Amino acid sequence: MTAESEINEEHALTLQELAEHFYYQDIKGHDKSGQEENEEIQQSEARYRGVPVKMLYFPKLFTEEGFLKIREAGEMAWKILVKVIWEYLDDPDYRKLFGFPKELEEMICRRPEYSVLLPVCRLDMFFDEKTGDFKFCEFNADGSSAMNENRIMTEAYRKTLMYRCFSEEYEQQEFELFDSWARVFLDLVKETGRYPEHPQVAIVDFLEKSIASAELERFAEAFRKRGSRSCVAEIRSLTYDGEHLYTPEGFRVDAIYRRAVTSDILEHREEIRPFLDAVRDRRVCLIGDFCTQVVHDKILFKVLHLDRTKAFLTEEENRYVEEHIPYTADLVPELLHVEKFLHTTWSDEGGRRRRWILKPEDSYGAHGIYYSGNFTDEQWQNLLRDRAGKGYVIQEYVSPYRTLNADYTDTDYTDNPWQEQAKGQKSPRVHSFANMTGMYLYAGHLAGIYSRLSPLNIISVEGDEHEMVSMIARRKNGQ
């Protein structure tokens, strides 16, 4: 057994220490490789709102055991979420818990023609690779993105010295997220029995808001490979003649892969009447349908902890919610009189010290999020008073799992409060990062993993978000 193997035997769930070991054996060689990788990413189509993503050098590799834990976590969560959607559709009283406006409620209750209520989602969690513990941070439905970034980062990583070091003993398997989604999508369309064998597919969004236009084109290509004509379409440009929905180029739309999030659709509903009318008349197959909004809205975290939800979940599912869904409440004026919410730090029933996160009920891109640890008690109380009753939830803060990584981007670390965690390292390129693990599920099955990080403890674009390639690592020849 090699030294590298012995190091890894001590950490069954993570290969992070092994990556650091490789790095320190040849710092100059890895620095050169990391700089070349960064230059390739800067010139690639991996971009967020036109700006290149920031990719870290060490990979996020999962052993079979680690991957199975994540798959189990994601697929259990998916089953619970689907149960909640069904309950929302079936029980008018349960719908009241979400407080959606009447028009949105009517859109949600328009049941899909296919059996899978949550066709695609990305469930983001804080996963501790050493202990296997995790708590969820956010659920994303139809607007889930970054599949293309995974693909591009994998291509860049395969050219690095780090990849070659791991390849001595490991097979490294990437996640395929385009053809697999096209297969699931077309199977759902076929399930309705109302469309051609090879339906024509439009991928629709408000394109000026789309953060990944190149990604949408990649999905269109995947549909074409399976025999379906496909295009990317601006949702406001569609026309409807009472029988068919069309793009401006005369492309007849049979099925829609919806990337436009529901909040944007409601905001611009008068501009997209042809789209909404065709969906209402069932002249197109909409995947995902609007019932997925039940999952996307942040208020779900609160609803999952209510007795009304516990009543239809199994004992195992309720235990799962209790252990892995952070406590969440509506930020309503009445909450300003509850002592623990007024303090930036509080103790739970087990005596553990906790903090808070404040976030909008329905948002994406990590906008408008506040961490109590960045405020004094007085500042926090003023913030709560200002946001109370304005569509915010207050949620138990979960401290992310942190790892070291080598960064060759232009990030400024001079004001990073976590910089001290990287002291003693042998390279100025190495820094401490908070980790978030995103799970892509297609029709309830784990299709891939997306890893985001930040030198800060809130992982968002505003918090200097970074990314890293995610793959499964398997030992060669049973070593």
Between 391 and 32, name the one with better pLDDT: 32
Q: Where are the beta strands (DSSP E) in 224-365?
A: 230-234, 239-240, 245-246, 252-253, 255-258, 285-287, 328-330, 345-347, 353-360
Q: Which pLDDT belongs to residue 47?
A: 85
Where on the phi/psi map is residue 227: left (φ > 0), alpha (ψ -120 to 50), or beta? left
Q: CA 376 → CA 345, 373, 382, 397, 475, distances in Å?
A: 10, 8, 10, 16, 49
Please check the confidence at residue 1 and state whether its pLDDT lies above 50: no
- Least trusted range by pLDDT, from 4-18, 127-141, 319-333, 447-461: 4-18
Helices 147-157 and 213-225 sit at what angle, rounded to 10 degrees?
A: 90
Q: Which pLDDT belongs to residue 439?
A: 97
Q: Please report how many Cα atoms fall inside a 13 Å half-sphere around the Cα of residue 438, on the Cβ side.
A: 23
pLDDT (tens digit per residue) in 159-178: 999 999 999 999 999 999 99
Beta partners for 356?
A: 396
Average pLDDT for residues 225-250, to the nearest whole number?
97
Q: Is 329 helix (H, G, I), strand (E, B) or coil?
A: strand
Among 233, 238, 229, residue whose Cα is nearest residue 204? 233
Q: Which pLDDT belongs to residue 129?
A: 86
Q: Which pLDDT belongs to residue 361?
A: 77
Q: How many helices (H) and strands (E) does the chain have?
A: 17, 23
Please check the confidence at residue 341 and state whether its pLDDT lies above 80: yes
- Least trusted range by pLDDT, from 118-122, 249-253, 416-420: 416-420
What residues contact residue 199 under an 8 Å CB cut-off, 6+ apart? Answer: 186, 189, 228, 254, 255, 285
Among 361, 449, 418, 462, residue whose Cα is nearest residue 177? 449
Q: Please report how many Cα atoms fall inside a 13 Å half-sphere around the Cα of residue 287, on the Cβ side.
A: 30
Average pLDDT for residues 137-157, to the nearest whole number?
91
Question: Could you tell me the two tokens for 409?
Answer: 């981007």
Neighbour count for residue 448 (Cβ, 10 Å): 23
Answer yes or no: are the C-beta atoms of 370 and 358 closer than 8 Å: yes
Average pLDDT for residues 396-402, to the nearest whole number?
89
Q: Is 187 helix (H, G, I), strand (E, B) or coil?
A: helix
Among 253, 236, 201, 251, residue whose Cα is nearest residue 222? 201
pLDDT (tens digit per residue) in 59-117: 999 998 889 999 999 999 999 999 999 999 999 999 999 999 999 999 999 999 999 99
Mean pLDDT of the chain: 90
Q: Where are the beta strands (DSSP E) in 6-76?
A: 47-48, 51-52, 60-62
Cα–Cα distance measured from residue 29 to residue 5, given in angstroms and rounded to the nearest whole number? 22
Longest Cα–Cα distance of the chain, Å, equals 69
Question: Could you tell me the two tokens for 75?
Answer: 């697929």
Q: Which pLDDT belongs to residue 417?
A: 64
Q: How confident is residue 22, by pLDDT bands cut at 50, 70 and 90?
A: very high
Please check the confidence at residue 363 and state whether its pLDDT lies above 80: no
Q: How confident is residue 426, by pLDDT bands cut at 50, 70 and 90?
A: confident
Q: Which range has the top average pLDDT, 174-188, 206-220, 404-418? A: 174-188
Please check the confidence at residue 422 and state whether its pLDDT lies above 50: yes
Cα–Cα distance measured from residue 51 to residue 406, given in angstroms and rounded to the nearest whole number? 21
Domain assignments of the chain as residue spans, ordered by start: 3-88+122-175+404-420+441-478, 296-396
Q: Which pLDDT belongs to residue 312?
A: 98
Please check the confidence at residue 9 and state whether its pLDDT lies above 50: no
Q: How confident is residue 13, by pLDDT bands cut at 50, 70 and 90?
A: very low
Cα–Cα distance measured from residue 360 to residue 370, given in angstroms and rounded to the nearest whole number? 10
Beta partners for 52?
A: 47
Model pTM score = 0.90
Answer yes or no: are the C-beta atoms of 197 and 156 closer than 8 Å: no
